[in-house]
Amino acid sequence: MTRELPWSGSHQTNGTGGSRYGSVQFTFDFKDLVKGRKVYWVEAQTGYKPPACRFLISDQEVKHLPVQLYDAAREDGPLRYVDGVWYWNHNLTGEFLLEASLLTSECRKVDFIRHHAQFCAIGGCSDQGKEGDGAAGRVIAYILSRKTDVIDAPLVVTAPKKVLSSAVERGLSRICMALGAISGKLNGPLNSNTSVDAALRAAMLQYAEGERNAAVETVKLIGSDDIFRKRLGSMVEAHFGVKSEVMAS
């Protein structure tokens, strides 16, 4: 009845329909989140199917709250700690409130998953019912355009050899498709590495910010699809320190 417990943001689903918390999933190691903190039982929410068990994880004084200290090594409950491993009863829904900052730089893995077609935690968005490829494209485009390295580590697989994760490769494929670099129609005036890189970064930032039409117009300044792909591949290798298989194909 139990399974080893990671901590995956956006992973909670309604049946098999997908995530109701968006298409970007950050996975943390649960033991990192509880280290130096105590776990408290809050309540059972029986109105959910399956029922939800709610816990508070905190290193603060919580005597003023209606919660009880939970010893996962001894309690006969859905959350267990045995021989250094955390487990969860997967027949129940688990809801954890972490009284601390959850830093994306500390996540272990980043994935792009299907958004539920009907349920959305923010009340509806343009990604409902989609598989996550659009989110992958926008996230990777933002990372490359702004040269941010906050989540670089979980986006690179190191064993058995160092390669880009499937999440990055999905994002790169989506960027090429969304920005029209697979049509064979790019014939703009920009051909030098410097000018193409500037246009490419600008277009990716526009795309990441939801301005796809503007991004497509910016990309039209680039001399050809081949130049686009070559410079994007070089940009990826410079950023992550490894070549993209998608860009090399």
Q: What's the rounded Cα separation, in Å, for the pair 237 and 222?
A: 20
The total number of residues shown for the chain amounts to 249
Over the stretch 175-188, which tens digit does the pLDDT of each residue have? Answer: 999 999 987 889 99
Q: What's the rounded Cα separation, in Å, for the pair 94 and 203?
A: 40
Q: What's the rounded Cα separation, in Å, for the pair 190 and 183?
A: 17
pLDDT at 199: 98
User: What residues of the chain score a pLDDT lower than 50?
Assistant: 1-2, 7-15
Contact 62, 44 (CB under 8 A): no
pLDDT at 48: 84
Token readout for 140 is 């990777």
pLDDT at 1: 40
Over the stretch 203-241, which tens digit does the pLDDT of each residue have? Answer: 999 999 999 999 999 999 999 999 999 999 999 999 999
Strands ordered across the beta sheet of 85-89 = 2-4, 85-89, 79-82
Torsion of CA 181, 111, 22, 247, to 10 degrees: 0
pLDDT at 188: 97
The kind and range of the H/E element at 215 are: helix 212-219
Other CB atoms closer than 10 Å to residue 59's CB: what's the count? 12
Omega cis (within 30) before 50: yes
| E strand map for the chain | 2-4, 6-9, 24-29, 38-45, 52-58, 68-69, 79-82, 85-89, 93-98, 109-112, 156-157, 163-164
Please state the pTM of the whole predicted model: 0.87
CA 225 and chain centroid, separation? 28
**Nearest partner of 232 among 185, 182, 189, 188, judged by Cα:** 182
Q: What's the rounded Cα separation, in Å, for the pair 248 and 246?
A: 5
For residue 61, give every residue at least 6 positions away whose Cβ sits within 8 Å of its Cβ, in sequence order, or none: none
